Amino acid sequence: MMTPSKLIATLIAAAVIGAAVSPTPSKSPTKKTKVKKYVSSAGKAGPAADSSKPATAASSKAVARRAAPKPPPVPTKLRESAHDFVFDRVANGADIPVENAPALIPFFEQLYRRQDGSAMGPLRILQYGDSHTAADEWTGELRNRFQERFGDGGSGFSLAGRPYAGYRRADVRSGSTRGWHTDGLAGHSGDGIYGLGGISMSVRMPHEDIYVEAEANDFELFYYQQPGGGTLQLYDNGVAVDRIPTDGEPAPGYYHLESAPGFHRLELETLDRAPVRLFGWVAEKVSGVTYETLGINGAEAPIVLGWNQETLKSNIERRSPSLIVLAYGTNEAGHKIWTLESYREKFSELLSRIREAAPTAAILVVGPPDRDIRIKRAWTPLDGVDMIVEAQREAAKANRCAFWDLRAKMGGKGAMQQWVNAGLAANDHVHFSGGGYRMLGDAIFRDVISQYEAFLKARESILAVAP
């Protein structure tokens, strides 16, 4: 039987930081001021203002007509009781905070090495998921908590431009002119070459721009190299830096730029009538944690299996994450096509694929939250969540991944109504309010960190008696 010291030694894996070559700045002039219309993400605003048009009175009326009638207000006593229920369950709801916690040891070791200074560079966390992840509320809370304790490593990877109307990142702002086309959204078929986040942005016309605004000193562009690919002019805070050709044999492409620390607006302009396809940007600081949100509205876990494996594997290897979080299940729970066996098999296949791309990373599976459906004007718990939770739990255990039962933390089956009454979940009984998401993010962080503290104590005691 393997001893604890040997177990720790076996599971510890140093992060592999991909080496990249810095570009040689060109002597091109400052970017000329042009009147262009941009669509921008709802992230952190920089000096450049969003030029998208405000909603008109007519469009506001149309939205009002489509909106469902608001439910009656929750009585004060019922709301107070619901608040008490939620806060008690979040503190004490799950019997085991993180199941299969030893699977997180490689991640914990990297956190420890960053804290004691024996390892340098950013520590990267990627979270894949559905609309709960895409909202960047609970992931934003996790980002804030990790960065408060272990340092701010920057925004890390974010999708290129504004790939869909609701795309948001709290720590970065991005946008593009209107000529760009999005591939990879849930419910849309394509070639699967979507990159790290499962979404790409493409264009074939000249003078189309795309930008990102972030505070960092180390940047990287993830793109697709293809025969006949177009050339991009790169600007850093309005100053021309370099030209990036995307022509070549089909393969993932990377362009690395080192710059001075601080705020940067990186902007790309297409120069010719040729295809260009972008996956996203990386913006990092010298050290600290990045928490990278990779959610797609309406996504189910098997969506990842439809992505081009070569491209995804290359992109994940390039990021070299220490932890990958998978948070799916809400949408699958509402579909009757799944059985326990079929979903467990697909989810295990996903875990195997992620493991192949990131063999040294720890994997944490976050189970779906409670969810209700409306039957005869009454809300009732969706039974499909039971099967999804159990299938994910079994797949996680079989694939040596940690598992965190979000529904149990909420209070178990039927808890969603209490969260709605408390004002911490939306009236659709599926999603959460901003405060509800942040509460869940805080709960995940506390449970993971409690396991990290236990790891530190075990590590210290084992090394103290080691010969």
- In order of 298, 325, 418, the CA distances from 213 in angstroms are 27, 25, 39
Residue-level pLDDT at 13? 36
Q: Domain containing 389: what range?
A: 75-153+288-467
Q: What is the pLDDT of residues 215-245, one digit of tens each?
A: 999 999 999 999 999 999 999 999 999 999 9
Same domain, residue pair 234 and 177: yes
Domain for residue 348, yes or no?
Answer: yes
> Which of 286, 316, 343 is at the close of a domain?
286
Residue-level pLDDT at 235? 98
Residue 30 CA, chain-centre distance (Å), reads 34
Lookup result for tokens 């797949």: 395
Domain for residue 50, yes or no?
Answer: no
Query: Which of 50-64, 74-88, 189-203 is the least confident region?
Result: 50-64
Highest mean pLDDT among 33-42, 110-119, 431-440: 431-440
Same domain, residue pair 362 and 236: no
Q: What is the pLDDT of residues 255-312, one digit of tens each?
A: 999 999 999 999 999 999 999 999 999 999 999 999 999 999 999 999 999 999 999 9
Q: Write the CATH number for 218.
A: 2.60.120.1360
Band (35; pLDDT cuts 50, 70, 90): low
Domain for residue 43, yes or no?
Answer: no
Domain for residue 363, yes or no?
Answer: yes
Looking at the chain, the whole-number percentage of residues with pLDDT higher than 70 is: 84
Average pLDDT, the chain: 88
Residue closest to 312 by CA, chosen among 177, 203, 196: 196
Instruction: Give the count of domains, the chain.
Output: 2
Given a cut of 90, is residue 353 above it in pLDDT? yes
DSSP track, 166-194: T---TT-EEEEETT-EEE--TT----S--
Residue-level pLDDT at 367? 98
Domain for residue 15, yes or no?
Answer: no
Residue-level pLDDT at 301? 97
Residue-level pLDDT at 92? 81
Lookup result for tokens 């070299």: 320
Band (34; pLDDT cuts 50, 70, 90): low
Same domain, residue pair 172 and 201: yes
Same domain, residue pair 340 and 327: yes
Same domain, residue pair 301 and 417: yes
DSSP track, 420-440: HHTTSB-TTSSSB-HHHHHHH
- Please give the residue that has the higher pLDDT: either 139 or 89: 139
> Which of 257, 286, 315 is at the close of a domain?
286
Given a cut of 50, is residue 10 above it in pLDDT? no
The one-letter amino acid at 9: A
Given a cut of 50, is residue 454 above it in pLDDT? yes
Same domain, residue pair 86 and 142: yes
Band (165; pLDDT cuts 50, 70, 90): confident
Same domain, residue pair 368 and 462: yes
Domain for residue 130, yes or no?
Answer: yes
Region 152-176 average pLDDT: 94
Lookup result for tokens 């940007």: 281
Domain for residue 49, yes or no?
Answer: no
Q: Quick check: 147 and 340 in contact, CB under 8 A? A: no
Given a cut of 70, is residue 29 above it in pLDDT? no
> Which of 252, 286, 320 is at the close of a domain?
286
109, 115, 120, 125: CA torsion to nearest 10: 60
The token pair that represents 109 in the structure block: 């070791």
Residue-level pLDDT at 41? 66
Query: What length does the chain have?
Result: 467
Rounded CA-CA distance 114/108 in Å is: 10
Residue-level pLDDT at 467? 61
Same domain, residue pair 135 and 257: no
Given a cut of 80, is residue 21 above it in pLDDT? no
Cβ-based neighbours of 170, under 8 Å, separated by 6 or more: 43, 44, 136, 140, 143
Same domain, residue pair 298 and 429: yes
Q: Write the CATH number for 140.
A: 3.40.50.1110
Cβ-based neighbours of 315, under 8 Å, separated by 6 or more: 195, 196, 222, 252, 279
Same domain, residue pair 311 and 205: no
Same domain, residue pair 445 and 307: yes
The token pair that represents 170 in the structure block: 């709290």
Q: Quick check: 213 and 236 in contact, CB under 8 A? A: no
Given a cut of 90, is residue 313 above it in pLDDT? yes
Query: Which of 88-97, 145-154, 445-454 is the least confident region?
Result: 88-97
Given a cut of 60, is residue 46 above it in pLDDT? no
DSSP track, 219-283: EEEEEEEBTT--EEEEEETTEEEEEEE-BSSSEEEEEEEE--SSEEEEEEEE-SSS-EEEEEEEE
Domain for residue 236, yes or no?
Answer: yes
Same domain, residue pair 120 and 228: no
- H helices within 93-176, ranges in order? 105-116, 131-134, 138-150
Q: What is the pTM of this model?
A: 0.86
